Amino acid sequence: MYKKLKYIFALGAKGIHQLLYGLFFTCILFSCGEDAKEIPDVSGISVDVDFIRFDQAFQGLDTTNTEASLAQLEQQYPIFTPLFYQRILPLMDQGQPDNKALLADNINKYIRDEFVQSLYDTVQIVYPQLDDIKADFEESVKYLKHYFPEKGNYNVYAFISEFGYQTFITDDTDQKEGLGLGLDMFLGKDYPYKEMILKNPTFSDYITRTFNKDHIVKKLMDAIILDVANVNMGERLLDKMVSNGVRQYVLEQVLPYTADTVKWEYTKAQMDWVEKNETNIYVHVLGEELLYSTRTKLIKSLIDKSPSSKGMPPESPGRTANYIGYKIVDKFMTRSGISMDSLIRIKDAQFILDNSRYNPLNKRR
């Protein structure tokens, strides 16, 4: 057993929270697994999903007649094409937005760039087709539409941006939403990302380990869910962990068969750690009086991607408070029975905590 007693006392819990330690012994006497949740049948749900190899279309522009070739591409993809050359790269001179000749020249230089060509070739080798990813994504969108009937129509634009973007959501045509998918940000853990851009924390090992095919659908759903459940309950740790818990709860429902290690972006050891130390994490948050703290330096690693959680053992992953936030929301939804559409409209984290009756020290509640 992980050194629970030593760890709990080492966390410095004070005052009333010391009472929780006694309750811990009551907790471990009971083996209380979570009830299996029913997964809805979505086989009859119809969605409209297209995957567009914009990377191939843009790199295939006719550089002998770039202006005309670009105009054809823009006619085919009228929203995403200008978004790509104006914002994602960008290649258009903002000081001369009507200078089409200058834009064409910049595009030619980009397409012919030796590094861009090498990166494009690598993407084509790793992702010669996206059919299996499309099938998995469509299945997830069916679950999304089950809970949010107004959703379900997406154009997914695969592109490369020299490591600028991974996934995002935007408006698109034909009553569909557009999703950007930066394939150069999913080339696998062995791709030398740190050598590409030095001293950039975005390319730390604990982050780039998820830059692979297994995480593409999850990352696309993250973009959608951040848009659907755009909940900002406040600046306290409680507000942030419950807001993140709401989004994680939605993610769990739309990816019912995806491994927890993918949904949480944890290693197997890290996933095991947070599951086994749920009580310890919560006692730490309470004992160090962090629940209502707004001090960014104290709470940042508990809610944002980090190598570990500040104040916890080095084997702890980052974002451990989000795990508690998810557990709170999960308990709240079990007790309340409300719809997910109602859940994302709640703006009060304290209301969710109080009505969840969340207490990892007493598994019988």
What pLDDT was estimated at residue 353? 98
d(CA 242, CA 21): 24
The SS3 assignment for 107 reads helix
d(CA 253, CA 227): 16
d(CA 93, CA 101): 11
pLDDT band with cut points at 50, 70 and 90 for residue 362: confident
Work out the average pLDDT over 118-126.
98
pLDDT tens-digit readout, 62-99: 999 999 999 999 999 999 999 999 999 999 988 888 89
Q: CB–CB of 278/286 below 8 Å?
A: no
Work out the average pLDDT over 284-299.
95
Whether residue 197 sits in one domain with residue 69: yes
pLDDT band with cut points at 50, 70 and 90 for residue 159: very high
Q: CB–CB of 163/196 below 8 Å?
A: yes
54 vs 26: which has the higher pLDDT: 54
The DSSP string of 126-173 is: H-S--HHHHHHHHHHHHHHHHH-TT--EEEEEEE--SSS-SEEEEE-S
Whether residue 165 sits in one domain with residue 247: no
Q: Is residue 38 part of a domain?
A: no
Whether residue 339 sits in one domain with residue 208: no
Work out the average pLDDT over 111-118.
96
**Tokens of residue 318, six digits:** 């980052």
What pLDDT was estimated at residue 36? 61
Whether residue 240 sits in one domain with residue 182: no
Percent with pLDDT over 70 in the chain: 88
Q: Is residue 39 part of a domain?
A: no
Q: Which of 179, 211, 228 is the endpoint of a domain?
A: 228
What pLDDT was estimated at residue 5? 27
Least confident of 18-27, 265-274, 294-303, 347-356: 18-27
Exposed / middle / buried, residue 181 (Cβ in 10 Å: 0-12, 13-18, 19+): buried
Q: Which of 186, 202, 228 is the endpoint of a domain?
A: 228
Work out the average pLDDT over 125-147.
98
Whether residue 197 sits in one domain with residue 185: yes
Burial 197-231 (b: 16+ CB within 10 A, else e): eeeeeebeebbbebbbbebbbbbbbbbbbeebbeb
Residue 61's CB: how many other CB atoms inside 10 A? Answer: 20
Whether residue 198 sits in one domain with residue 137: yes
pLDDT band with cut points at 50, 70 and 90 for residue 364: low
Residue 294 pLDDT greater than 70, yes or no: yes
Whether residue 246 sits in one domain with residue 173: no
Residue 32 pLDDT greater than 80, yes or no: no
What pLDDT was estimated at residue 29? 28
Q: Is residue 170 part of a domain?
A: yes
Whether residue 26 sits in one domain with residue 53: no
List, in sequence order, every beta strand (DSSP E) within the chain. Answer: 48-53, 153-159, 167-171, 177-182
d(CA 141, CA 42): 10
Whether residue 161 sits in one domain with residue 62: yes
Residue 37 pLDDT greater than 90, yes or no: no
Burial 142-178 (b: 16+ CB within 10 A, else e): bbbbbbbeebbbbbbbbbbbbbebbbbbbebeeebbb
d(CA 250, CA 34): 18
Whether residue 10 sits in one domain with residue 133: no
How large is the angle between the packed helices 19-28 and 278-287, nearest 10 degrees?
Answer: 170
| Amino acid at position 208, single letter | T
- The mean predicted confidence, pLDDT, of the chain is 89
What pLDDT was estimated at residue 6? 32
Q: Is residue 120 part of a domain?
A: yes
Work out the average pLDDT over 117-142.
98
Whether residue 312 sits in one domain with residue 216: no
pLDDT band with cut points at 50, 70 and 90 for residue 195: confident
Q: Which of 181, 212, 228 is the endpoint of a domain?
A: 228
Least confident of 53-67, 174-188, 350-364: 350-364
Q: Which residue has the tokens 């707004």?
A: 294
Q: Is residue 138 part of a domain?
A: yes
pLDDT band with cut points at 50, 70 and 90 for residue 348: very high
Q: Is residue 42 part of a domain?
A: no
Whether residue 264 sits in one domain with residue 140: no
Containing structural domain, residue 322: 4-30+232-356
d(CA 259, CA 251): 12
Work out the average pLDDT over 218-222.
98
What is the value of pTM for the model shown? 0.88
Number of domains in the chain: 2
Percent with pLDDT over 90 in the chain: 81
Work out the average pLDDT over 19-36.
37
Cα atoms in the 13 Å half-sphere on the side-chain side of 160:
23
189 vs 156: which has the higher pLDDT: 156
16 vs 123: which has the higher pLDDT: 123
Q: Is residue 294 part of a domain?
A: yes
Q: Is residue 278 part of a domain?
A: yes
Residue 105 pLDDT greater than 60, yes or no: yes
